[in-house]
Structure 1
């Protein structure tokens, strides 16, 4: 049988050529896009910044400063621990930014993959960025990785941020927080009783405790009860899962600049997605039960749902949140409410162990204002703890739980005489600013709670205010009062029951992962007071 041959100009004859041409066109576009992302755009942004006098590290395609950051981190951790009483923690905790600012000035350029990062360490400029007066800065998220951790109000922008903030804020009103104080006190009583049991079981007048996991357990208990009330046990499971999720996220944090990395089916990525599904399933069940009940309750979830229902009924404020939005906010309760307060209480016990004279002063105040172990601290008593408050603020300054925050320019913006093009990340190194001698004086690295005797605004004397532990501007931490009340309650109840000092096994080694934590634990020796 004769085989027909396609005519030279027929579709069948041209199809292979057209397919090859299409493949070449797609490959060319992909190569062009890759070159723009990895080479042309970073070079363009780098030239624009250098032309205005900014100095910094040289751009290395794809990796950026990751190799340098890894080397500096290894060198910092290989050095001996800081001596007890030394609070000059910046070189060890933020080695890359410390190196860049030492070499190139306070406003210096580093690279996260192909993205330029400019450190902004002048307090007035930091306030301008945080205030976002002209709406030119947006929060820097980490895409899918961040959504696996939480997707609450701290990550939203624009109208969605404004709507969520408006709905959430009533849950943290002072009158509502006062009703949660019995929960705070109950969790702290459990902690003190457990520590007393350790002392009794050992038969010794003093015993060693690693307070870092203890504070995580305390603040996990508080947020579980305060957020979910009668669903406390389910809340505890969420706490355990979120704790594992944070640890896994840190393992992949340095690789997220690689496009699509979080989507690869690696063992860690698969486990993180399973954890996220389990957390969301638990929360969805709790929320469904609450929405079906006649009364939402006085815990954070109940207050959030009540506020959300009011906005959903159409009061002209833009509507409410979806169930997925509420789940994201509940996950944020854990990530922000548990982790940051546990870090604050841990460093406070370490620092007061280093400075026993301030521990004695704070204890004397607690006993005088609140009373001994037989009394439960109330709001009026906690609000009169001036020395305790000064101590907490000074610990927040020296050991800022969140060492740095990031903002991105999504349109050209002038700041401090420099015109930043769109696509530049501005790094606000809060820990560096809190240790800056230009902002705090020659004793910036010293523990001096009396700085805050006249409040936060006057803490840096006649210099410009330079305290940013709770952020600033419209995005100031909505849970600030919750965290401070919880920390005051915990510290007051510990101080009146125990004296404590550093254990010989403690190594003073702060590390940013990404919160500022003690690398080798926080071992202290507790002595039960009569």
Structure 2
């Protein structure tokens, strides 16, 4: 009798698991596909488990095999190479279309009024992620502001915001200057040997922005901060490896593989390092011996003020919360700013007229002197160039999701749909940007962002609305300082070894590096 019961339980479990699996990998995706199709949201048909990833991979391979070097006649028309499947669908469907990433439907939204509706929504209808999803490797990088929702996001935003006010950024400028000076001195030594030198500036800028964040975030604990940066860098490489290995529904991420174990080890090491620095700093603040103006001190003081104002020790962030915010700051800020500087040097190497205009402005405003905060705010042409680079080479695209049936414009989207706002497409829409949308023309930003396009919600490299990136002013100040000081000391051009091959990994990067030839001025 007992054996019979056990067999029945096993059979019921197997049948239930099979039905649940079938529901997940076939019935649910096909039902969502049918609902989207009725509303005119079309795309490639859903394929069992893989979705459209096979077509995506095939088209990408065909594109790369046919031409590894993008045409220099139209170098900024990068979408056909970046994602040919997305390019094909965007050419056919101007309003919206769907791409299946495994069993997940990702609806691309390109209409400005719908984008505005998503990004300005204050009711939580379009969260960044579904909290019901299982833990993923992305959470190893930090679960700060960028990934929070609701009340917790609002509380963190209130506490973190004071650390990014302009007056606080002004105090961080010496840390920015120190790191940039070290980079310039290093490059000058290399150039002086031969009169010019070739460098992969993408690697140089990753090191620069890592050092800047280490100094700006941890100040006197710079060396410990730099160790955190190196660990986060290793974690990023391992994460890319895991992405290439994992397919939908794979359990590889939960298995004790060498890569997985090292990723979790780094997670623990980074948390331990940040915790140690935090505890020392908290003691200094409490005893009145802290004179640091770095991000960590500003964050801790703001957190303490929040608790005191509410007379509640639970009102602020927990120790774990502060650790996660620091980790997220590294992950979000280091690579995106490095990429902005990399693409800026590539663009100015392609467009020497704009390089000369930018250099003339820099030398006119502060000559060969070290720029002040006010000097940098007077750089109109350099600012226009950075904005145009962010238009053509945004770090990534925006993704939101639906957790219930949700109305968007005339659409009724079922639960479990990801909403994808492809910046590389929207930033190149001729209806919004004019016939020269594929060209590098910083002049379009001469009167600011609001007048650069037909609808200002067509430009959002840092997001839009209440969830706009809190670190955008930090990133732009850092980029402005570094680029202006490079222009002070060097002229530069593309090396013959450079291949223009933008590639979307986690952020938009030059696939084969950014080889630039520097000349001392």
Q: TM-score range by the shorter chain?
A: over 0.9
**2:432 alignment partner in structure 1:** 439
Matched, 1:231 2:198: no
Quote the Cα distance in structure 1 between the aligned partners of 2:199 and 2:20. Answer: 55
What is the CA-CA distance between 1:464 and the residue it aligns to? 5.0
TM-score normalised to structure 1 length: 0.93
**2:404 alignment partner in structure 1:** 411
Where does 1:150-299 land on structure 2 (aligned, <5 Å)? 150-200=142-192, 202=193, 204-253=194-243, 255=246, 257-258=248-249, 260-293=251-284, 294=287, 295-296=289-290, 297-299=292-294
TM-score normalised to structure 2 length: 0.95
Counterpart of 2:114 in 1: which secondary structure?
Answer: helix
Matched, 1:136 2:160: no
What is the CA-CA distance between 1:133 and the residue it aligns to? 3.5
What is the CA-CA distance between 1:150 and the residue it aligns to? 1.7
Matched, 1:48 2:35: yes
Quote the Cα distance in structure 2 between the aligned partners of 1:72 and 1:312. Answer: 55
Aligned residues: 510
**1:111 alignment partner in structure 2:** 100
Counterpart of 1:313 in 2: which secondary structure?
Answer: helix
Q: Deviation string for 1:188-240 (max 9, x for gaps)?
A: 1111000001112x2x2211111000011111110000000011111111111
Q: Is the 8 A contact 2:94 2:110 kept in 1?
A: no
Matched, 1:451 2:444: yes
Q: Is the 8 A contact 1:124 1:464 kept in 2?
A: no
Q: Deviation string for 1:365-412 (max 9, x for gaps)?
A: 00111221xx2211111000000000000000011111x111111121
Give RMSD over aligned pairs. 1.6
**1:3 alignment partner in structure 2:** none
Please identify the structure whose Cα radius of gyration is greater.
1
What is the CA-CA distance between 1:29 and the residue it aligns to? 1.8
Quote the Cα distance in structure 1 between the aligned partners of 2:469 and 2:348. Answer: 26
Q: 1:37 aligns with which of 18, 24, 32?
A: 24
Counterpart of 1:253 in 2: which secondary structure?
Answer: helix
**1:81 alignment partner in structure 2:** 69
Counterpart of 1:213 in 2: which secondary structure?
Answer: helix
Q: Deviation string for 1:60-87 (max 9, x for gaps)?
A: 1111112122222222333231133621
Quote the Cα distance in structure 2 between the aligned partners of 1:316 and 1:28. Answer: 55
Change over 3 Å in CA distance of 1:95–1:129 after alignment to 2: same
Where does the alignment leave 5 or more consecutive residues of structure 2 unmatched?
none
What is the CA-CA distance between 1:463 and the residue it aligns to? 4.3
**1:8 alignment partner in structure 2:** none
Change over 3 Å in CA distance of 1:419–1:368 after alignment to 2: same
What is the CA-CA distance between 1:326 and the residue it aligns to? 1.1
What is the CA-CA distance between 1:38 and the residue it aligns to? 1.1
What is the CA-CA distance between 1:94 and the residue it aligns to? 2.8
Quote the Cα distance in structure 1 between the aligned partners of 2:324 and 2:199. Answer: 34
**1:306 alignment partner in structure 2:** 301
Change over 3 Å in CA distance of 1:314–1:41 after alignment to 2: farther
What is the CA-CA distance between 1:148 and the residue it aligns to? 1.1
Quote the Cα distance in structure 1 between the aligned partners of 2:436 and 2:389. Answer: 14
**2:394 alignment partner in structure 1:** 400
Quote the Cα distance in structure 2 between the aligned partners of 1:76 and 1:156. Answer: 37
What is the CA-CA distance between 1:106 and the residue it aligns to? 4.0
Q: Is the 8 A contact 1:398 1:431 kept in 2?
A: yes
Quote the Cα distance in structure 2 between the aligned partners of 1:464 and 1:198. Answer: 43
Matched, 1:346 2:333: no
Quote the Cα distance in structure 2 between the aligned partners of 1:316 and 1:488. Answer: 41
Quote the Cα distance in structure 2 between the aligned partners of 1:345 and 1:443. Answer: 23
What is the CA-CA distance between 1:256 and the residue it aligns to? 6.0
**1:17 alignment partner in structure 2:** 4
Change over 3 Å in CA distance of 1:240–1:77 after alignment to 2: farther
Q: Is the 8 A contact 2:339 2:508 kept in 1?
A: yes
